[in-house]
């Protein structure tokens, strides 16, 4: 297991989060590090998706992970078990990450050598949508068991992301979930959104998702 | 369908939420209205549980519902279809309800005639744990697909509630979910927590949950 640190992060003192996010994004562009901010409700499968993504890409690029949680370090342990560099952030009670908190995690991780960093945001479909973390791209996961009405109820999250992953599609037959309805509302909210239907259990759709990362990482890092 | 109003609530101007919550709780005790605050992640089955609870109790007590969402009124429509009095609150971007917001909903609903009101809080496992709504009792739902590590990651929510409903247990065989692990950690965080395992699909455990409401409503309303 890769060793990892746990960092109790402090709330940012910067008033202008957008400016902090802009500066962090510029730094990451200069360092040639593609930062993906991954958001979802608790239990949608963020960590499982992170582990699948590492497995698929670890021989192609140098990967790091920043895990953020209110408490516990179970996610960082799972990532460290793959031999990947990882930092666990504890936010105390805070319900989202902002650019300064992301920077605290990235500085602890050390990004200079890394091609690709995944920032696993706090499990929350509301607050993280309001804060630019400085990421190169933003993705969200909606799992089938959560229901197909989520784009109606949480429109901000669906509006700000570049990618929507519809996860746990292997259990589709056990739930009332109309994937076409989700896709239609999400595209109305966000016409440029990319949507992949995935199952970490069966592997369905994972290759399309991995290809999207490959392409975006190359674009970002000018390869 | 019962008609219902949609109210765009304003952020509370009161600094002392605990005092507002205390005053609301006293008012509800005098009016003999038992208020249950129901919390969970998005998509854990709050509205489905509300509908099951209405079905089981509507011939025994006068019930009302306050639905809170960032946006949309799909939940209020579902409740109104049962002929139950309901108000839909829209919080804009706000990630939780406080006592003053709960009061805005209850005032719009009109509570004098009601024995039992369910306040369906915003879908969020973090922020609502920090705000007393003035409810008589607090309950949360954790659904099987969310995973058994949630009490470790979101300890505050498990610590503040009177009841934990473990929902969607009909799909247990399709997920890695150790209910005993959840129960053990939840009881360590909160020794007095009541736990019911339920399935809205098969009806399993619903009667135990309904009985708990029967007993608590009687105690609250001095019957």
Cα of A44 to nearest chain B Cα, Å: 6
User: Which residue in A has a C-alpha nearest to residue B177's C-alpha?
Assistant: A43
Give Cβ neighbours of residue B144 (< 8 Å, ≥ 6 apart): B166, B167, B168, B169, B171, B172, B175, B177, B179
Helix axis angle, B99-109 relative to B17-31, nearest 10°?
30
Query: What is the structure's pLDDT at A7?
Result: 86
- Alpha-carbon span A88 to A72, nearest angstrom: 9
Could you tell me if A124 lies within 8 Å of chain B, comparing CB atoms? Answer: yes
Model pLDDT for residues A75-128, shown as the tens digit of each residue: 999 999 999 999 999 998 899 999 999 999 999 999 999 999 999 999 999 999
Residue B171 touches partner A, C-beta closer than 8 Å: yes
- The segments of chain B whose pLDDT lies below 50 read none
Torsion of CA A39, A44, A46, A49, to 10 degrees: -130
pLDDT at residue A2 tops 80: no
Chain A contact probe: residue of B42, B88, B153 with most A CBs at under 10 A: B42
Beta bridge partners of A118: A36, A65
Residues of A in contact with B148 (CB under 8 A): none
A48 in reach of chain B (CB within 8 A)? no
pLDDT value at position A223? 81
Domain ranges of chain B: 5-10+19-220
What number of CA atoms fall less than 13 Å from residue A93's CA on the CB side?
7
- The minimum CA-CA distance between A129 and chain B, rounded to whole Å, is 10
ipTM of model: 0.88
Pick A146's closest partner by Cβ from B43, B74, B126: B43
Q: Kindly state the greatest CA–CA separation across chain A.
A: 48
Topology of the domain covering B5-10+19-220: Rossmann fold (3.40.50)
Dihedral sign of CA atoms A125, A129, A131, A134 in order: positive
Q: Does domain A5-9+20-220 have CATH number 3.60.21.10?
A: no
- A92 to chain B, any CB pair closer than 8 A? The answer is no
- Decide if B123 touches A, using CB distance below 8 A: yes
Helix A99-109 to helix A17-31 angle, to the nearest 10 degrees? 30
A130 touches chain B (CB under 8 A): yes
- Residue A126 forms contact with B (CB below 8 Å): yes
Distance from C-alpha of A6 to C-alpha of A89, rounded to nearest angstrom: 6
Burial class (CB in 10 A: 0-12, 13-18, 19+), B113: exposed
DSSP secondary structure, B21-52, as one string: HHHHHHHHHHHT-EEEEEEESTTSSHHHHHHH
Which residues of chain A have a CB within 8 Å of the CB of B92?
A: none
> pLDDT per residue over B178-206, tens digit each?
999 999 999 999 999 999 999 999 999 99
CA distance B168 to B144: 6
**Is residue A99 within 8 Å of residue A17, measured between CB atoms?**
yes
Side-chain-side CA neighbours of residue A139 (13 Å): 26
Contact (Cβ atoms closer than 8 angstroms) between residue B175 and residue B144: yes
Taking contacts as CB-CB distances below 8 angstroms, the residues of chain B near A95 are 95, 124, 126-127
* C-beta separation of A156 from A126 below 8 A: yes
pTM: 0.93
CB atoms within 10 A of CB A162: 18
Indicate the residue of B41, B130, B171 with minimum beta-carbon distance to A43: B41
């Amino acid at each position: 297991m890769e060793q990892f640190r746990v960092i109790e992060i402090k709330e940012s003192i910067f008033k202008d989060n957008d400016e902090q996010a802009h500066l962090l994004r510029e730094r990451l562009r200069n360092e040639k590090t593609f930062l993906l901010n991954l958001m979802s409700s608790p239990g949608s499968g963020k960590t499982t998706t992170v582990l699948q993504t590492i497995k698929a890409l670890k021989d192609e690029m140098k990967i790091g992970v920043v895990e953020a949680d209110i408490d516990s370090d179970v996610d960082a342990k799972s990532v460290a078990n793959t031999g990947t560099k990882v930092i666990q952030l504890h936010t105390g009670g805070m319900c989202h990450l902002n650019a300064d908190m992301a920077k605290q995690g990235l500085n602890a991780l050390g990004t200079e050598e890394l091609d690709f960093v995944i920032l696993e945001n706090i499990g929350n479909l509301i607050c993280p949508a309001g804060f630019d973390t400085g990421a190169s791209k933003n993705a969200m996961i909606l799992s089938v068991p959560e229901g197909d009405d989520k784009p109606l109820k949480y429109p901000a999250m669906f509006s700000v992301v570049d990618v929507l992953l519809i996860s746990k599609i292997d259990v589709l037959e056990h739930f009332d979930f109309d994937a076409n309805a989700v896709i239609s509302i999400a595209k109305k909210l966000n016409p440029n959104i990319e949507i992949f239907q995935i199952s970490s259990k069966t592997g369905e759709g994972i290759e399309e998702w991995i290809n999207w990362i490959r392409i975006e990482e190359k674009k970002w890092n000018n390869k």
